[in-house]
Amino acid sequence: MERYNLVVIGAGSGGLVVAAGGTGLGARVALAEKHPIEYTHEGKPVKAMGGDCLNFGCVPSKALIRAGKAAQHAREASRFAIRGIPDPGPQDIARVMDYVRSAQAHISPHDSIERFSGLGVDVMVGAGRLKSAHEVEIGDKTVWGRNIVIATGSRAMIHPIPGLEEAGYLTNETVFQVKELPASLLIMGGGPIGTEIGQSFSRLGSKVTIVSSTPHICPKEDADIVAVLVKKLRHEGVTVIDEAKATKVEKKDGRKVVTIKGKTGAESTITVDEILVATGRRPNIEGLNLEGVGVKHSAKGIETDAKCRTNIPSIWAIGDVAGSYLFTHWAGYQAGVVLTNTLTPLALASCDYDNIPWITYTEPEIAHVGLSENAAKAKGIEYRKFSADFAHNDRAVCDGDFEDYFAKVLVDRKGLILGATIVHPHAGDVLAELVLAKKWGLPLSKIASTIHAYPSLSEITAALGREYRKTGLTPGRKNLLTKIAGWMR
């Protein structure tokens, strides 16, 4: 039986970081991947791993979003006094998906079997199944690992709605395979996946309806932030229905009739050409034999502690399969925690749950770190809020991206950041300074005293800092400064 320092099950973002990092630190690593996908890069076939991120998630969705932006920006060119650009109309979705696949193909060598084999990883194609606390069965072979890392990801959760299976539907895995643009598209679910794909299809020419069971879409965000996005979506022709859910689907004359029940209990029907289900995720735990080995888990995923360790000391779990945050960057971060805890003598790293940023890549983007106002109130945490509008940011005004957009930050009594949210087309690019300040305990006043290049969107964080510093100008201090100024005349 082959023996390894690390046996990794699943070659998504987390598993790949563990595998590459492990070999880089001198460990012997085996990596099991069930479904490599073939791309063509520079005329050569590439067998890529990459999990959801490369194949069905971050990469294809962002390429689709970029295509949608191009169509919408052409449509809005007259805002900048540009003549001669007509409404581009419905797009050839097959060609758009060719563009999406070209982006995937360009990135695929980085996640390829060839690259990881070249790094020294023993890549084995097949599903990994636990046989014991140290043994993993991969196909017809069993390997031994001092430590086993489960990184099998998640997939779309499909709720049992009568008629849905018979009518057919799309998920984040199949939507990128469509060959014809649906004239109308109903999206079940108002989270990031539903809103990002929904806005993109709308911009490419579909009539889109988003049905969300929560009080508003993007329910992890505060209502004032989401209101800006909803206004933009509705302006672009997207119908947003909150506090409602689909209860039945029927197929009539080649189209799909969806019954929707609202918060009052009243029902209505919407007839569409296609349905996208984006009502949550479920962990990929089937076939791992978790019960046989005694690994604790639930419908939310494998149970782990802050160090990413399961109740079996030699078995670890990271990324979507362990629940918590379902982000590529979180899985990669957790991979680093596991590498530290398995390969560094006497070192014990824990996950930093307080400083994880996330971005919803709609237009405008919503970028967030730390506590929202809703979360702070729910936890009884006192805070002060400071806001800054992009209408006073000269770069945003020049770009034409300022109306309704703003940033807000929550701080404690000492001015330390508790949370921050930005809503703007480039919010994700501006957030990092606030993440850094929050993580390392820099008060908002320090950001105010940092020089920011003019004109840049990053000045919005300096504006937040100035709003905070104004509170330090008490009436007593103001009177004193007035007197000093008078003496100096």
pLDDT for position 345? 75
Q: Examine the pLDDT at 186 and tell me if it is beyond 70.
A: yes
Tens digit of pLDDT for each residue in 106-118?
999 999 999 999 9
Q: Which of 133, 151, 153, 129 is nearest to 141 (CA)?
A: 129
pLDDT for position 87? 82
- The three-class DSSP label of residue 252 is strand
pLDDT for position 1? 87
The DSSP secondary structure of 211-247, one letter per residue, reads E-SSSSSSTTS-HHHHHHHHHHHHHTT-EEE-S-EEE
Tens digit of pLDDT for each residue in 371-409?
999 999 999 999 999 999 999 999 999 999 999 999 999
Least confident of 169-183, 264-278, 464-478: 464-478
- Taking the model in full, what pTM does it have? 0.94
Structure-token pair, residue 103: 């982006």
- Whether the CB-CB separation of 191 and 156 falls below 8 Å is answered with no
**How does the average pLDDT of the chain come out, rounded?**
95
Query: How many C-beta atoms lie closer than 10 Å to residue 149's C-beta?
Result: 28
Strand 154-156 versus strand 281-283 pairing type: antiparallel
Domains with residue ranges and CATH for the chain: 3-155+282-343 (3.50.50.60), 164-279 (3.50.50.60), 364-470 (3.30.390.30)
pLDDT for position 478? 58
Average pLDDT, stretch 236-247? 97
* Confidence at 482, pLDDT banded by 50, 70, 90: low
Angle at which helices 328-343 and 13-24 cross, to 10°: 30
* Confidence at 479, pLDDT banded by 50, 70, 90: low
Structure-token pair, residue 79: 């805002």
CA pair distance 102, 55, nearest whole angstrom: 12
Q: Examine the pLDDT at 481 and tell me if it is beyond 60.
A: no
pLDDT for position 483? 65
pLDDT for position 268? 97
- Whether the CB-CB separation of 396 and 457 falls below 8 Å is answered with yes
pLDDT for position 272? 98
Average pLDDT, stretch 160-168? 97
Tens digit of pLDDT for each residue in 111-156?
999 999 999 999 999 999 999 999 999 999 999 999 999 999 999 9
Eight-class DSSP state of 189: -
Tens digit of pLDDT for each residue in 400-455?
999 999 999 999 999 999 999 999 999 999 999 999 999 999 999 999 999 999 99
Q: Examine the pLDDT at 222 and tell me if it is beyond 90.
A: yes
pLDDT for position 477? 62
pLDDT for position 346? 74
Q: Examine the pLDDT at 102 and tell me if it is beyond 70.
A: yes
Q: Examine the pLDDT at 472 and tell me if it is beyond 90.
A: no
pLDDT for position 377? 97
- Whether the CB-CB separation of 150 and 302 falls below 8 Å is answered with yes
